[in-house]
Amino acid sequence: MVKSIILKKVYLEAFKNLGNQLVKNGFKIYFWACAVLFILVLYAFVFRLTTGFVWD
């Protein structure tokens, strides 16, 4: 719970003083796209670990 509050504070501070609304929304979209892709990579890695993938 504490980590999520810290992440929220960091997220709000990062986008607080950006001037242009287009740039602000672009960075928010980019952040969420990167977060989703990172979670997808973690899922694929865990899936390979649990299904017995042979690491050569």
pLDDT on residue 18:
64
Domain ranges in the chain are: 19-56
Positions of E strands within 1-56 = none
Give helix then strand counts, H and E, for the chain.
2, 0
Please name the amino acid found at residue 46. V
pLDDT on residue 37:
98
Q: What is the pLDDT of residues 1-55, one digit of tens each?
A: 788 888 888 888 877 766 677 777 888 899 999 999 999 999 999 999 999 888 7
